[in-house]
Structures are given as C-alpha cells and as structure tokens.
C-alpha cells in the first residue's frame, strides 16, 4: 500500500501552531519555522516555467534559501560532499562519534557558541595528543573531518561530533606515512576519559571568566555551589566515544 509522502513543511503547517502553544520557540527558531512553512509556495512569489518545445507551463515558486530548510539544502549538501571527497586520501578510514552527556544540555542551549566550540576544541586536542603517543604505534600528525550534529533521530537535543579519520598519521617531518591498526585507531575508553577531562577543564575556565549564561535564575543555577555540583555530576558519568565500523576505502563513505 502506498502511503502519502509528507515533508517537514507539511508537518509544520499541520501541527506547528499547536506545538508552538505548548513549546514556545525562540525568535530565531520561529523565523526558521515560518520560512520552512512557506518555502516554494506562492507566499514567496515565483515565476512561470515554459517548455520551448510543447509550450507546457507551470508555476515555479521561490525558495526560502534558509540553511536549515531541507528543500533548500540539497545543492549545498552535494557541493559540500564533493568538496570533502576531493580531500580524501587513498587509505582506510575510521569513524568516531564524540558525545556530550545530556546533563549539560540546558547549559549548552544557553551557550551554544562557546560550549559547542569547546566540543570541537576538545576533540581536536584529544585526537592530536593520542596521535603523538607512541603507545598507539603512531607518532605524527593526524587529520580528520568533523561534523557537528545537535539532535537525535527523535529530534531531541543530542550534541555530538562525527569524525572521519584517515587510518594513519604523517610523520612530523612530513616524510613518511605511518599506517594504523586495521581494526581500531585508539582505544575508545581512553579517548572518552581524555575527552571528559579536557572538556570539563574548558568548562570550568569559562565559568571562572564569567563567560557563561545560565538557564533560569542566574543566582541559583549559576551559583558556585550549583556549578560545582553540575561539574561533579558530569564528571561522574561515562562519556561516550563510539567507534563505528572502519571503512576499507574512502568510497565507502557514500
């Protein structure tokens, strides 16, 4: 049985008002929400397309051109993928996912630029340090492509980075390529512990500098005692670095 095909804009138009009454959106979210609803509709205007051979005509409505719109990102996505393909090396690749614990979500939502920046910095520092450590049979410069994801498949806040990493390093004199093990690059548990330590250190420094905004009443949620409790709880959790199946060749990335 063929089921009707729904797009994100259809869902927004049908259920958006009820959702917004229950879960108020920020001005930025509401602007994106409204643009996606009217993308490629008569509201944004358009033009008439006409076939040169049979004179068939049809209206073509303008797009919203917002970077969050699934209708407007297909060409940009393909261009980005092609640019990344041109950077791939003729070696195997590893896929690692670094995830922040959900206990930090309320703080991240209020400080996205700073705390998601720390996520990239911490992942870079961890991978760079491990690539220099001889216990992993490597000693050189590592490279990787990192892509930020901010929600899960159920569209809940879930801040994590996907890393595509060549299976080896370039020696510091750039004279030789050192191949990594075939089955794994670094031990996931060791990566996770280092990732937790580095990220929480950056978080403490940001708090000491007064760089953070806290949800609710700042004097309550941002008090030294409350922040210390948050850090302690985040530090007691098991942070996740998830290794996905290694790729034998760059073409397997799809």
Give me the mean pLDDT over the 79-86 stretch. Answer: 80
Rg (CA), the chain: 23
Show the domain range for 47: 8-61
Mean pLDDT score of the chain: 87
For residue 247, list its beta bridge partners: 93
CA–CA separation, 100 and 108 (whole Å):
10
| Inside any domain, residue 122 | yes
Render the burial of 184-201: b for 16+ CB within 10 Å, e for the rest. Answer: ebbeeeebbebbbebbbe
d(CA 203, CA 114): 9
User: Is the pLDDT confidence value at 1 over 60?
Assistant: no
**Residue 225 burial (CB < 10 Å; 0-12/13-18/19+)?**
exposed
pTM for the model: 0.78
Quick check: is 112 in a domain? yes
Structure tokens at 205: 């420094």
Q: Is the pLDDT of residue 183 over 90?
A: no
220, pLDDT greater than 70: no
The 10s digit of each residue's pLDDT in 25-41 is: 888 888 999 999 998 88
Strand partners for 98: 161, 241
Q: Which parts of the chain fold into alpha helices (H)?
A: 8-22, 27-38, 74-85, 105-110, 112-132, 188-208, 218-221, 224-236
Write out the two tokens for 65: 């051109």
Q: How much is the pLDDT for 246? A: 65
Nearest-angstrom CA–CA distance, 135 and 185: 11
Whether residue 126 sits in one domain with residue 203: yes
Same domain, 49 and 117: no
Count of C-beta atoms within a 10 Å radius of residue 149: 12
Higher pLDDT, 89 or 236: 236
List, for residues 50-60, the tens digit of each pLDDT value: 888 888 888 88
Mean pLDDT of the 105-122 span: 96
66 belongs to a structural domain: no
**Does the pLDDT at position 3 exceed 70?**
no
Q: Quote the CA–CA distance of 213 and 228 in Å, as a whole number.
A: 15
Residues found in the chain: 254
Predicted confidence at residue 57, as pLDDT, reads: 85
Q: Are residues 180 and 228 in the same domain?
A: yes
Residue 1 lies in a domain: no
Q: How many domains does one find in the chain?
A: 2
- 232/198 same-domain check: yes
In a domain, residue 67? The reply is no
Question: What CA dihedral angle connects 156, 201, 147 and 35, to 10 degrees?
Answer: 50
Q: Residue 253: is its pLDDT beyond 60?
A: no
11-15, 59-63, 112-116, range with greatest mean pLDDT: 112-116
* 19/134 same-domain check: no
Kindly report the three-state secondary structure assignment for every residue of 67-108. Answer: CCCCCCCHHHHHHHHHHHHCCCCCCCEEEEEEECCHHHHHHH
Looking at residue 198, its pLDDT comes to 98
State residue 254's pLDDT score. Answer: 44
């Amino acid at each position: 049985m063929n089921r009707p095909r729904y797009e994100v804009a259809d869902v927004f138009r049908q259920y958006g008002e009820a959702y917004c009454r229950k879960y108020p959106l920020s001005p930025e979210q509401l602007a994106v929400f409204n643009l996606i609803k009217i993308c490629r509709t008569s509201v944004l205007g358009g033009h008439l397309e006409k076939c040169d051979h049979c004179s068939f005509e049809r209206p073509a409505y303008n797009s919203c051109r917002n970077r969050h719109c699934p209708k407007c990102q297909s060409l940009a996505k393909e261009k980005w993928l092609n640019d990344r393909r041109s950077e791939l090396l003729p070696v195997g690749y590893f896929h690692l996912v670094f995830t922040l614990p959900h206990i930090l979500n309320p703080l991240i939502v209020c400080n996205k630029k700073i705390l998601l920046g720390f996520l990239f910095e911490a992942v870079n520092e961890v991978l760079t340090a491990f690539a220099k450590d001889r216990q992993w049979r490597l000693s050189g410069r590592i490279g990787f492509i990192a892509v930020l994801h901010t929600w899960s498949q159920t569209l809940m806040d879930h801040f994590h980075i996907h890393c595509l990493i060549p299976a080896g390093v370039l020696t510091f004199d750039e004279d030789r390529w050192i191949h990594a093990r075939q089955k794994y690059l670094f031990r996931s548990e060791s990566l996770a512990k280092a990732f937790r330590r580095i990220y929480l250190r950056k978080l403490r420094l940001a708090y000491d500098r007064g760089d953070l905004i806290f949800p609710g009443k700042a004097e309550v949620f941002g008090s030294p005692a409350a922040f210390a409790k948050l850090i302690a709880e985040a530090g007691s959790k098991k942070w996740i670095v998830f290794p996905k199946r290694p790729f034998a060749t760059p073409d397997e990335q799809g």
